[in-house]
Structure 1
Amino acid sequence: MLNPSEYFPEQELETLKQVYYLIMMLIFFNFIIYLIVIEGKDVLPIAILQIVVSLYIALTLDYSSWNNRILFFLLVPYESIVFLIYNHYILIWPIFLIHVFVYAYFIKIYFDKFRKYTETNGLGIAIILLFAIVFVSFIVTSIAETVDPLDALVMVSNAFTSNGYAILGNTGIGKLTALTLVWGGYIISGVGTATLTAAIILKHNQKQQKEMNKRLDELESLIKDNQK
């Protein structure tokens, strides 16, 4: 179950790798927004997400270098841990500023990974234009509709995937679940389309291969008769 190549086409895996890098960039950008605008009503799910993402990054870091060891301690979401314990943010300005720069640094890292992966595998950059539209729409919606970043992200995701423009979910956890379902459905629909296309192309190629083999057999037979 942990091997995506068992149930995703190879082309879809390449696209999902690109999407993964861009989603991580968007997540870290949201963390910066919530650090600056901490009075949002949906702080709890963001705090949980911040801890989960920090744990994930900590597990994937290479601790053979001192830079990553230092980065690990700078990445610890102290404000989210304090919020979960005391249900209130206690901002320590040096840590607050450090986290803003650390999250911006990770945005740069994932963008560099995206660009390198795209160039290495000969993929197009249309996917980044797609996410640029979502990203700009997210900012515009948050400002124009005067809603929290999480609400804006839900609204933009629903509008982009043709599910409407409403905020699905009354709680932060419900909104995160809605986001998972919306983008999960979008990815699965893409997988279904890619699988069907691959099956049609494979069937067509197999038919052409059979016809080519038949013609080669006929040609070989004619050559043998001519030799006789």
Structure 2
Amino acid sequence: MKTEPRFRAVAVVFLVIPIFMPNVLSGNSDTLGWTGVTINNGYRVTNADAWVHLKTSNIRQCLRMCWLFRACAALTFLRASQSCQLYRLSITDATAYSVEADGDGVSVDMRQASMDVQMKKLYGCDERPCSEAELCAPVRNIISYVCIPLGESSPVRKSTYCTRNPPNVPNSETLRDQVESILYSCMKAYRQAGSTFVSTCDRSTGTWSNVDVTCSDVDCGITPSVVGAVVIGMRMI
């Protein structure tokens, strides 16, 4: 019962996002304020499945929505239906972005995109601070943002940046967001050593950082002898 007000607050933020994002991109170019974007008029992204479908009035709004979803690496905007389709693509594979002809479509490669923060009021979302499994929602009245988890059913459960396996630590358990960080801890009956127990995804290299944590077997030795007593069981604490 106590969590209901928080849920409603988050839902409101999600629904009113377009209100917090005025059309600050003006002028003759749809890419005014953006650098590193590749726009293909008359084309749509192919060889990839869109994982987010939105309704936006124009390509400028579609560009901003892609930026708010950190996992978004490319998009297709369909003019007639005002449909904005967002895609996750490999950052390290240059051939991952491919298009096919579609007279109604506009496709954009966002993998090398950057934005002029002076031209957009995204209240912190301009730096894409949320994880790949979250949506960054600008909140105007507090001049800040909130990160909204996309949920367990979302297809965004694996990093597009770090596709290789993370470090393997024998006898350990992991707590992970499946996207950008992995926390290692030792299983019961094992002693943890080392100072680096969190592996993070390096977006520039596409690799997970190393950890020095080890989990060694705990040997408690022979149980003490107690006169008149027998051992009926043993357990690790």
TM over 0.5: no
Of Structure 1 and Structure 2, which has the larger fraction of its residues in helix? 1
Higher relative contact order (CA 8 A, sep 6+): 1
Name the TM-score, length of structure 1 as normaliser: 0.23
Of Structure 1 and Structure 2, which has the larger fraction of its residues in strand? 2
Name the TM-score, length of structure 2 as normaliser: 0.23
